[in-house]
Structure 1
Amino acid sequence: MSGQTPPTHTLLTHEALIMSSLEELPTVVFPALFKEAFAGRQTNLLKAMVAAWPFPCLPVGSLMKKPNLETLQALLDGIDMRLTREFHPRRAKLQVLDMRNMYHAFWNIRADANDSDCKSKTLDEKQLVKVLPRYARRQRLKVIVNLSISSHFNKSKAYFLNWAKQRIGSLYFCCIKMKIWDPPDQVIRDIFNVFDPEHITELELNTDWTLLQLAHFAPYFGHMKNLQKVFLAPLHKNTSPIINITSATEAKCVHKIISQFSQFNCLQHIFMKHVHFLRDYMNQVLGCLMTPLETLSITQCLISQRDFDLFSCSQNLFKLKHLEIRGMILYALDLMPLRGLLQKVADTLEILDFQWCRM
């Protein structure tokens, strides 16, 4: 192509011509052209562009505001084209398919930008590649997602997960943020068979699981070694003993869950709501931590004097920036340990919240 590049909306009226000349198109045209094809749901062109993508990363998640099954199928078909031995696009450089729904500066590249501008926009993607083991970087394209897992998936999510299960050996799947909402046990097993829990940095666990179910989940939890933020709300809502479970078994389950906190290398933010089974065990949770916390949020949980007493002597709380204790019954407790903690975090604490506490 010579001279100025025509506007992308004009190019899209000649889909067949574009598909046959992708190897000759200027690199800087790809982002705007891809966005136009994506918005117009031109699935054949999308498939061809994914296969020939000339950048290390395709941050398509920021374009997927509303799931569309046909568009998703086209994207994944483009990845499948790259996996075939017969297909070797000359300029294809794709290493990371980022499907997270988040802002990405890459899509601000204009069609009249030069190659150096384009390259500068993709430098951040090197950080994504660093997340993964070297052998994976050498051998397999990475697919990065955030997942919300429940007992019911929409058609797009169900299609993607089924597609992923069939390509475990060909692609490397990485989940950064995961939300879990009472899925069946088999779904949990399937998910962690595809996604290595080691790459999860944020976990939100919203379940009504019993302690036995939580204990069964504990090994997956413990493998999230790079977890930075965890939301536990609610977990095991019932405060009465579980039917058909002895106190010894209950204690063993709690210990199995708590012991996983010692596996986290960089956990800094803990949020708990309606987590009643940790009453009298907070000292063990905080004592297990490998790094000091920046955030501790406890909402509507049962807490004991024994739990409170450890606050002023737990070194993993001495660098808190955010302390939130909400909806708790505190009037019967000796609050002096809390006062001691506040004195020790006076230089670091930025947010203090005691809403709806009976003091």
Structure 2
Amino acid sequence: MDLKDPASLLDLAMQCLLKNEPIIIQSLEEIPRELLIPLFCAAFLGGHKKTLTAIVKVWPFFCLHVGKLRSHETHSALLKAMIDGLQVLPAPNSASRGSKLKILDLRQDANCRTTCFPIRTKSPFCFHSCSYTQTSSRKRKGKHSTVNLGSEVQLSRYPTELLVDLSLDGTLRTSTFLSLLLSKVEQSSGALHLCCRDLQVDKLSDYNNTLKLLNLLCIDHLAVDQASLNDINTLLSQMVHLDSLSLSKITLTSLNAKIFKSFLTQLERMDNLQELNLSFFCLTNRLHKLLRVLPHDLDYLNLPFCELSYRDFRFLSQCPQAAHLKLLNLSNNPISWEDCEPLQTLMENVSGTLQHLEINHCLITDSTIFSLLPALSHCSHLRVLSFASNPITMSMLMRVLENLLPLMELKYVIYPIPVHCYERWYFQGTLDRQKLADVQVQLKAMLQAAQRGDMNWITFSE
């Protein structure tokens, strides 16, 4: 008989216990606290809502993180069950050992453990505590020798943190979950701090009142779809430490000089900004103003549908950020022959750091891509290249492949369907799938001949 992995045996034991849910709930306070961690994991993955609620009520550690257990398919009922079990105020006349839980983290995070254990201290500790509440271990850093939060009396004086990522998309599921959160905060009489780190908002005007109930200082990642720039400025004025900002479909009528200047003022305060995504955001002849206020060590820059001009491309090629960018997306901005010179310079300047490049739907022709090849072939750290939906011939596509073969870190290339695969006009005619199949066979053969089977060339049919 094959030996079983110890972790698998433990998981099996937890699953067996959960088959008799009423008994396990009654016995939770008798279970060694170290076993509550695998029991929680098994209950969450098995969808045992009543057990989850009961475990949270007696959780013996300072923090509890859903972390890698959560996926996009996680049912909101499981999260609701955990929130229901969160005891913000001390239970009156309770003879049980009670919960020491002060940080309940419902966010999805593949790198987060179920709980954080103290390092060189017996005081409660959590790597993910909020900087804007009194429980923050970051505020207590260096004070463990003088401040003892180990006792239940001391611990009860601090607010409880509920960490969430919110996507305000107008769905019934979102509205129900949001109502539950806000109701829990209201019932806590100030003893519960709702901390949202990642906020996504569809149609900002529908949620202005809701946002007033959140502490926007907590937000690290903000994504807004459909808004006026004036409302965006109001939102940004209440934030300090954004790591990522994504704005899409910002109304053109709002992009007047005064409001845009205010927008730049808000961005200039964001010293920690590492990622900026702007789409359907008109930047014609004003990209230079934007880049001047952004951190020089910006990692990710996405500018699709921004109506960039030759002047914008030229400034982008010379800006300080170019020497640091890891990701650049210029898709859906027409790139003509006259734009080649600044783009060549841009590719040369990003060659030392660039890992991901997207130039889809840019009307790039053979002559344009040919002019970029020398600089592109020097991007030694490039891992992903996407230049789909551009009118490129088969002969040029083969030349691109040959030039990219030496880039050993390049693993994924999303290429355009060659023009000869279409009848009549490119994109408007019928796609000849047999011709496309022949293209795929030929490219695969070239990769195999060059012993680059690790480089995946893929395309998609419009």
Residue of structure 1 in register with 2:195 after alignment: 174
Q: Distance between the aligned counterparts of 1:104 and 1:329, measured in 2?
A: 39
Of residues 291, 295, 304 in structure 2, which corresponds to 1:290?
295
Change (3 A) 1:192 1:316: farther
Of residues 220, 231, 255 in structure 2, which corresponds to 1:216?
231
**Cα shift readout 1:316-338 (whole Å, capped 9, x = no counterpart):** 33211222211212327544333
Contact 1:151 1:184 (C-alpha < 8 Å) held by counterparts: no
C-alpha RMSD over aligned residues: 3.5
Residue of structure 1 in register with 2:161 after alignment: 142
| C-alpha deviation, 1:145, in angstroms | 1.0
Of residues 225, 248, 262 in structure 2, which corresponds to 1:206?
225
The question of 1:232 aligning with 2:247 is answered: yes
The question of 1:132 aligning with 2:151 is answered: no
Q: Distance between the aligned counterparts of 1:81 and 1:180, measured in 2?
A: 28
Residue of structure 1 in register with 2:179 after alignment: 159
Correspondence list, 1:265-276, <5 A: 265-276=271-282
TM-score, normalising length from structure 1?
Answer: 0.77
**Cα shift readout 1:126-167 (whole Å, capped 9, x = no counterpart):** 2202x4246243721211111111233316414323324414
Letter in 2 for 1:284: K
| C-alpha deviation, 1:99, in angstroms | 0.8
SS at match of 2:108: coil
Contact 2:133 2:159 (C-alpha < 8 Å) held by counterparts: no
Of residues 83, 86, 97 in structure 2, which corresponds to 1:76?
83
Contact 1:51 1:81 (C-alpha < 8 Å) held by counterparts: no
Q: Distance between the aligned counterparts of 2:231 and 2:76, measured in 1?
A: 35
| C-alpha deviation, 1:309, in angstroms | 3.0
Change (3 A) 1:88 1:139: farther
Contact 1:198 1:224 (C-alpha < 8 Å) held by counterparts: yes
Letter in 1 for 2:218: H
| C-alpha deviation, 1:10, in angstroms | 4.9
Query: How many pairs are equivalent?
Result: 327
Segments of structure 1 that go 5 or more residues without pairing to the other structure are 110-117
Change (3 A) 1:88 1:305: farther
| C-alpha deviation, 1:297, in angstroms | 1.9
SS at match of 1:259: helix
Residue of structure 1 in register with 2:211 after alignment: 191
Contact 2:70 2:107 (C-alpha < 8 Å) held by counterparts: no
Change (3 A) 1:205 1:68: closer
Residue of structure 1 in register with 2:75 after alignment: 67
The question of 1:24 aligning with 2:23 is answered: no
Q: Distance between the aligned counterparts of 1:351 and 1:271, measured in 2?
A: 14
Q: Distance between the aligned counterparts of 1:255 and 1:85, measured in 2?
A: 55
Letter in 2 for 1:140: P
Change (3 A) 1:328 1:80: same
Residue of structure 1 in register with 2:306 after alignment: 301
Contact 1:308 1:337 (C-alpha < 8 Å) held by counterparts: yes
Residue of structure 1 in register with 2:4 after alignment: none
Letter in 2 for 1:94: L
| C-alpha deviation, 1:9, in angstroms | 4.4
Letter in 1 for 2:203: D
Segments of structure 2 that go 5 or more residues without pairing to the other structure are 1-9, 137-156, 365-462
SS at match of 1:99: strand
| C-alpha deviation, 1:205, in angstroms | 1.7
Residue of structure 1 in register with 2:354 after alignment: 349
| C-alpha deviation, 1:170, in angstroms | 1.5
| C-alpha deviation, 1:29, in angstroms | 2.0
Letter in 1 for 2:250: L
Letter in 2 for 1:295: Y
TM-score, normalising length from structure 2?
Answer: 0.61
Q: Distance between the aligned counterparts of 2:325 and 2:110, measured in 1?
A: 29
Letter in 1 for 2:170: S
Contact 2:296 2:324 (C-alpha < 8 Å) held by counterparts: no
Letter in 2 for 1:92: S
Q: Distance between the aligned counterparts of 2:291 and 2:95, measured in 1?
A: 52
> Which is higher, the Rg of structure 1 or of structure 2?
2
Residue of structure 2 in register with 1:99 after alignment: 106
Letter in 1 for 2:74: K
Letter in 1 for 2:55: M
Greater RCO, 1 or 2 (C-alpha within 8 Å, sep 6+): 1
SS at match of 2:303: strand
SS at match of 2:224: strand
Could you tell me the percent identity over the aligned residues?
24
Q: Distance between the aligned counterparts of 2:361 and 2:97, measured in 1?
A: 63
| C-alpha deviation, 1:38, in angstroms | 4.3
Change (3 A) 1:105 1:324: closer
| C-alpha deviation, 1:287, in angstroms | 1.0
Letter in 2 for 1:230: L
Q: Distance between the aligned counterparts of 1:225 and 1:321, measured in 2?
A: 24
